[in-house]
Amino acid sequence: MSKKHFIELANVIRRVAQERPDAAFSPYQVLALSQFCADQNPAFDRARWLAYIAGECGPNGGKR
């Protein structure tokens, strides 16, 4: 998987949380997905990906 795939996956997680809070991914599910992503690409930055999902940064780690 590439960076664009990781960003799009995070966008889906964020969109579901915004549109359907009752169907949002649980923290455990997000962590499980982050482990999957890390297994797919050794350059995957789990902390940055989780921060993006949480709305703490933009998709490239910078400002939103």
Question: Which tens digits make up the pLDDT trace of 8-45?
Answer: 999 999 999 999 999 999 999 999 999 999 999 999 99
Nearest residue to 1 via CA among 26, 38, 32: 38
Q: What pTM did the predictor assign?
A: 0.89
pLDDT of 52 above 70:
yes
Residue ranges covered by each domain of the chain: 3-53
- Please, are residues 51 and 57 in contact by the beta-carbon 8 Å criterion? yes
